[in-house]
């Protein structure tokens, strides 16, 4: 699986994710919330055998980062793991990473060192808490 990283206004972004973010079935998976982008976003796009199998738009605010409105084809844990690995590797030191995570994905995020801050009806608000190296 290849992970591509693009700025939120990169001209290559729309041809890759446009058909997905406007697909009614994918919007339903996202509880009918639209996908957003701007120059404050970095998009991590998972590609397997030439097919987009997931993406995570990462929004940056000063030293904080936030994941919201992402897509994982088939809810595959290995896609979540690969995307989160790249997101986490790109974080600046001492930055905070939070995520609004679909209930069906919370265990996969926990396995990637996220913990639940707040449980909502359809989502968990989670925070990345890296395990200190010993």
Question: In angstroms, rounded to a whole number, what is the distance separating the alpha carbons of residues 119 and 22?
Answer: 28
Helix residue spans in 24-90 (DSSP H): 24-29, 77-89
Cα atoms found within 13 Å of the Cα of residue 28, Cβ hemisphere only: 3
What's the first-to-final CA gap in the chain, in angstroms?
A: 30
Question: In angstroms, rounded to a whole number, what is the distance separating the alpha carbons of residues 105 and 112?
Answer: 11
Question: What pLDDT is attached to residue 87?
Answer: 97
pLDDT at 133 over 80: no
Helix or strand holding residue 46 (H, E): strand 41-48
Residues 41 and 7 sit within 8 Å (Cβ to Cβ): yes
Nearest to 66 by CA among 117, 133, 2, 9: 117
Share of the chain above pLDDT 70, in %: 99
Share of the chain above pLDDT 90, in %: 82
More confident residue, 125 or 33: 125
Question: In angstroms, rounded to a whole number, what is the distance separating the alpha carbons of residues 113 and 128?
Answer: 6
Mean residue pLDDT of the chain comes to 94
Q: Give pLDDT tens digits for 45-102.
A: 999 999 999 999 999 998 899 999 999 999 999 999 999 999 999 988 788 999 999 9
Nearest to 16 by CA among 35, 29, 33, 31: 35
Topology of the domain covering 2-95: Aminopeptidase (3.40.630)
Residues 13 and 37 sit within 8 Å (Cβ to Cβ): yes
Average pLDDT over residues 27-46: 92
Its pTM stands at: 0.93
Average pLDDT over residues 27-49: 93
More confident residue, 131 or 5: 5
Question: What pLDDT is attached to residue 134?
Answer: 66
pLDDT at 103 over 80: yes
């Amino acid at each position: 699986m290849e992970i591509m990283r693009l700025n939120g206004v990169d001209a290559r972004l729309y041809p890759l994710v446009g058909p997905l973010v406007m697909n009614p079935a994918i919007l339903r998976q996202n509880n009918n919330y639209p996908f957003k982008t701007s120059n404050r976003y970095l998009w991590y796009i998972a590609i397997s055998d030439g097919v987009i199998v997931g993406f995570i738009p990462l929004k940056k605010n000063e030293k904080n980062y936030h994941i919201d409105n992402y897509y994982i084809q088939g809810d595959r844990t290995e896609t979540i793991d690969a995307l989160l690995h790249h997101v986490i590797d790109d974080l600046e030191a001492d930055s905070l990473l939070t995520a609004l995570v679909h209930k069906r994905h919370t265990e996969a995020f926990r396995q990637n060192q996220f913990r639940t801050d707040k449980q909502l009806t359809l989502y968990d608000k989670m925070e990345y808490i890296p395990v200190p190296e010993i």
